[in-house]
Amino acid sequence: MRAATPARPVRAIAALALLGALLATTACGGGGDAPQIEIPDIPIPSSSAASEATGAAWSAPAEVRMPSFEDSGAATHIDVSGANVGYVAARATSPVRLKFQVNCGEMTYNYDLPNDGTPTFFPVNMGNGSYGFRIMENIEGSSYAEIDSAYAEVTLSSELDPFLVPNIFCDYDPQSACVAKAFEVTSASTNQGEVVRDVCTFVVDNVAYDYDKAEVLAQSTGYIPSPDATLAEGKGVCFDYASLAAAMLRSMGLPAQVVTGYVEPGDLYHSWIMVYADGTWQTAVFSVTPNAWSRCDVTFASTGGDSFSGSGVGYTDRYIY
């Protein structure tokens, strides 16, 4: 159901707190569209069968679940038609930087919004309730003016819905290379535990940590990962690992959250995934339990732990996408 958009005065928002999407995640910064790049033929690791996984029977989906955008034709538009199934979309054209804000109760997420009119999808990730959505245009420095808004009373059809479709931080479509790789990697999977195992093992075995990128992005904000770019380059930072693993799992029909937050030692800012599967997979690093959100830190599993990926303990969630 589309929410009515009451008339509101344009107002300046001074020093907008660029939280959520704008925080640097231990090597996350920069931004912009990912270039078109060739995807190498990465082999499926034989180690994917090294640990037993169990669970409900699984078969590859007939089609990849995708959000849709209903355009009004206006200069700016916020489409709330998908709010009850876990997402909102927005687009705007402007010569200056744009932000998109999602608010529910006392929680607020702020994101970059492309200023070229590209429709962009964002998760409705704060449960049921009254949501406010705003497009903000930069005035100067860190001051922004609201140029459009919309509201929706959200009752999610399932709490898992926001984490079954792509969004700005987990971006893919049915033609994405990461989706094709997910179908390939899980071609022998027969249950949900095996899907988690085979996807996570693939990412761990085929993505290396990019320490040079980490050093550069640690001083930046606003980084947007590209699952296909990470797959093509075979390296990335924690946000890249999480985005790729989540994209592969979501495209195969398993809910996966991209989480940013803190890990020991020293409240290191980091990113990992949480997966919800009707299955099990237990190793020294991963512990997946049935029908519950289970943490899978594919970056830590890949590096073995260091000053960028942490010690694998003491996790504190901050933002969930």
pLDDT in tens, 111-144: 999 999 999 999 999 999 999 999 999 999 999 9
Return the H-helix or E-strand segment holding 144.
strand 143-154
Long-range contacts of 49-52 (CB under 8 A, 24+ apart): 50/201, 51/197, 51/281, 51/282, 51/283, 52/281
pLDDT at residue number 270: 96
DSSP 62: S
Any idea how long the chain is?
A: 321
Report the share of the chain in percent with pLDDT over 90: 81
pLDDT in tens, 64-115: 999 999 999 999 999 999 999 999 999 999 999 999 999 999 999 999 999 9
Instruction: Calculate the alpha carbon distances from 280 to 45, 60, 77, 128, 195 in Å.
Output: 20, 18, 42, 29, 10
pLDDT averaged over the chain?
Answer: 87
Question: End-to-end CA distance of the chain, in Å?
Answer: 23
Residue 314 has pLDDT above 80, yes or no: yes
237 near 253, Cβ under 8 Å? no
Q: Report residue 222 as tokens.
A: 């606003």
Cα–Cα distances in angstroms (integers) from residue 228 to residues 163, 171, 178, 180, 207, in the given order: 18, 9, 6, 10, 12
Among the listed residues 121, 166, 141, the one whose alpha carbon sits nearest the alpha carbon of residue 18? 141
pLDDT at 286 over 80: yes
Task: Give the per-residue pLDDT at 50.
Answer: 56
Instruction: Say how far apart CA 152 and CA 268 lie, in whole Å.
Output: 35
Q: Which residue has the higher pLDDT, 12 or 55?
A: 55
- Averaged pLDDT, 181-203: 98
